[in-house]
Amino acid sequence: MDFRELYERAGSVAKPVKLSEYGESGGVGAAILTAAGNVYTGVCIDTACSMGFCAEHAAAAAMVTAGEHIIKKVIAVGCEGEIMPPCGRCREFMSQLADENAEAEVMVDENTVVRLKDLLPYSWR
């Protein structure tokens, strides 16, 4: 599966929804392609008290719930179609799910794909 298809999957779930006075979701959607060839998507959840999480976290949680943990490709897409690089928390989170994830391809903008390990050049491990 190429990044064009992953972009479509991530974008299809990036639909902002006001959940309550204090929370909203869907401003960003993410898609993860696993070593087994499955795709998992997720959306961000933003709350007033910063207890929410990123779309990459949601997609990774779906992946782990399904019994997988090896990431081959990942992309995050904003609700207006912009490609967004993962934040530092997401980078570290995905790297800790499996050592192999250091080699995962991450699309960080329309023309740039890098390995997850290149987004974490000074690992604490």
Query: Which residues, listed in sequence order, are joined to residue 30 by a DSSP beta bridge?
Result: 42, 76
Residue 104 in any domain: the answer is yes
**Chain segment 70-110, per-residue pLDDT in tens:** 999 999 999 999 999 999 999 999 999 999 999 999 999 99
100 burial (CB, 10 Å; 0-12 / 13-18 / 19+) is: middle
State the Cα torsion 12-4-116-43 to the nearest 10°. 0
> In this structure, what token pair is assigned to residue 13?
């779930």
Residue 103 in any domain: the answer is yes
Sign of CA dihedral 44, 110, 68, 96: negative
**Chain segment 32-85, per-residue pLDDT in tens:** 999 999 999 999 999 998 889 999 999 999 999 999 999 999 999 999 999 999
Residue 65 in any domain: the answer is yes
Q: Range of 11's domain?
A: 3-119
Question: H/E element holding 4?
Answer: helix 3-13
Q: What pTM was computed for the model?
A: 0.96
Residue 17 in any domain: the answer is yes
| CATH code of the domain containing 80 | 3.40.140.10
Residue 68 in any domain: the answer is yes
- Does residue 116 register a pLDDT over 90? yes
Higher per-residue confidence, 54 vs 123:
54
Domain tally for the chain?
1
Residue 54 in any domain: the answer is yes
Quickly state the pLDDT bin for 10 (edges 50, 70, 90). very high
